[in-house]
Amino acid sequence: MPIGYLVPVLLVACCTSASLAPARRPPRLGRLAFRMSVIVNEQPFALLLVLGTVTALALADGDIETTGGRVALVLAALTALGLVLVARRGLRAAPALDHALADALRAGPGTVTNRGLPWARIVLAPFAVRRRDVERLADLPYGEDGGGGDNRVSRGREHRLDVYRPRSRPADGPTLVYFHGGGYVSGRKELEARAMLSRLASRGWVCVSANYGLRPTTNFPGHLVDAKRALAWVREHGDAYGADTSRVLVAGSSAGAHLASLVALTPRDPRFQPGFEDADTSVVGAVCLYGYFGEYYGSGRDREVESAPGAYLHPAAPPFLVVHGDQDTLVPVEGARRFVADLREVSTSPVVYAELPGAQHGFDLFHSVRFDAVATAVEEFAERVVVARDRASEARVERREER
């Protein structure tokens, strides 16, 4: 029995199966399916290379001549076909995003696909998320010791943020403030969406990725207060880093999307800005990636304060871009669908919703066909939102001058 060939083939086959048909119930199996498929789902090309390499070695060693070797070879062939299907589903992300942008923003067809994807990075260097033309300023404090209003004493890394900006340091770049996921119990600012933040920064944006208090140290609405403190810090100090603080968008993944949506829907709400009630925490747009939009599920929270974003919908909500995978086993897609439907009924701003075929949770960890298409769509959405905001401001100025 060629164990050295059979074991890696079985491992890749199991992960591919979890990607193609992930178990959803019970929740423990859903979490296992996510862990097994997170690499396969976004990097099927790398797994195809692994299969090809171990098969070539097995052929060279004569392992295929045994019964076990032939069984492993058949399994490898079937797994390779499954990986091709996974790759094809990833390629469908760009058309889905194109359609969503065209439908909600009246963007031209091919908005994402016409820009192309960085295939060299996707295939050859998927984990190389940094760019040479982007500077990262790490672990800047915000809060009492870093500005942004009256805050508790900063506890370690909780009240720290990173700034991504072009090395050329142009002035007045539009700004994106990002919050990581982790279910409010884990996660950090250096983990998700770094490829997107670096991409935007290389295009002249100033991007901020912020930590915030986690359970059990912090509870709701403390997480939201921290997020608003980070936004207040950007308003107060962003111009020193080249940011145009009048053009700020907020974004997040998973629990960070829950947080970003609450930030976007509660500008200047004094309940969530203790000690810095006068700070401007409004944003011109929000981006939510595989977000959770339900009630806060941690114990010990303030039950008198609504925690679901749907409780704060209003006609003046800023434009939203919501992106979710239809195979998400950690945060089912139905929640995103309900939130988008409810928001569209109330808001007068555009609400872009893209549902990605075959996408799991956590698709923004590194370069992939799917996530680079998402990053391109976020860039397109953000640029159009900023342009629309600038035009609206100019129109208001003209009306005042006419009076």
| 364 has catalytic annotation | no
The rounded Cα 112 to chain-centroid distance in angstroms is: 17
Distance CA 79, CA 32 (A): 19
Q: Are residues 72 and 142 in the same domain?
A: no
Q: What is the mean pLDDT of residues 340-354?
A: 97
Last residue of a domain, one of 91, 120, 136: 91
Give φ, ψ of 136 to 5 degrees: -110, 120
Q: Are residues 80 and 115 in the same domain?
A: no
Q: Are residues 102 and 51 in the same domain?
A: no
Q: Which amino acid is at 73?
A: L
Q: What is the mean pLDDT of residues 175-186?
A: 96
Which of 381, 374, 387, 386 lies closest to 113, judged by CA?
A: 374
Q: Are residues 191 and 97 in the same domain?
A: yes
Q: Which amino acid is at 293?
A: F
**pLDDT tens, position by position, 98-134:** 999 999 998 877 889 888 888 999 988 999 999 999 9
Q: Are residues 296 and 306 in the same domain?
A: yes
Instruction: Give the pLDDT score at 152.
Output: 42
Using pLDDT thresholds of 50, 70 and 90, give the confidence band for residue 303: confident
Q: How distant, in Å, are the alpha carbons of 96, 245, 266, 383 from that of 109?
A: 11, 31, 33, 16
Q: What is the mean pLDDT of residues 338-360?
A: 97
Q: What angle do CA 290, 293, 298 make, to 5 degrees?
A: 110
Domain that holds residue 293: 93-402
Tokens representing residue 205 in the block: 């944006």
Neighbour-count burial of 348, counting CB atoms closer than 10 A to its CB (0-12 exposed, 13-18 middle, 19+ buried): exposed
Q: Are residues 29 and 169 in the same domain?
A: no
Q: Which of 307, 361, 364, 372 is catalytic?
A: 361
Q: Rounded to a whole number, what is the distance in angstroms from the first to the last CA of the chain?
A: 87
How much of the chain, in percent, has pLDDT values that exceed 90? 78
Q: Is the pLDDT assigned to residue 150 strictly greater than 70? A: no
Instruction: Give the pLDDT score at 397.
Output: 56
Instruction: Give the pLDDT score at 111.
Output: 87
Q: Are residues 71 and 106 in the same domain?
A: no
Last residue of a domain, one of 91, 107, 129: 91
Which residues, at least 6 apart from 222, have a Cβ–Cβ distance to it below 8 Å? 213
Q: Are residues 261 and 180 in the same domain?
A: yes
Q: Which of 63, 98, 328, 364 is catalytic?
A: 328
Using pLDDT thresholds of 50, 70 and 90, give the confidence band for residue 4: confident
Q: What are 206's strand-pairing partners?
A: 175
Distance CA 59, CA 53 (A): 10
Whole-number average pLDDT of the chain: 91
Indicate the Cα dihedral angle 50, 55, 57, 58, nearest 10°.
140
| 328 has catalytic annotation | yes
250 within 8 A of 258, measured Cβ to Cβ: no
Last residue of a domain, one of 71, 91, 111: 91
Q: Which CATH number characterizes residue 390's domain? A: 3.40.50.1820
Q: Which of 17, 246, 254, 347 is catalytic?
A: 254
Q: Are residues 320 and 176 in the same domain?
A: yes
Using pLDDT thresholds of 50, 70 and 90, give the confidence band for residue 352: very high
| 307 has catalytic annotation | no
Q: Are residues 79 and 128 in the same domain?
A: no
- Over its C-alpha atoms, the chain yields an Rg (Å, rounded) of 23
How many domains are contained in the chain?
2
Q: Are residues 36 and 165 in the same domain?
A: no
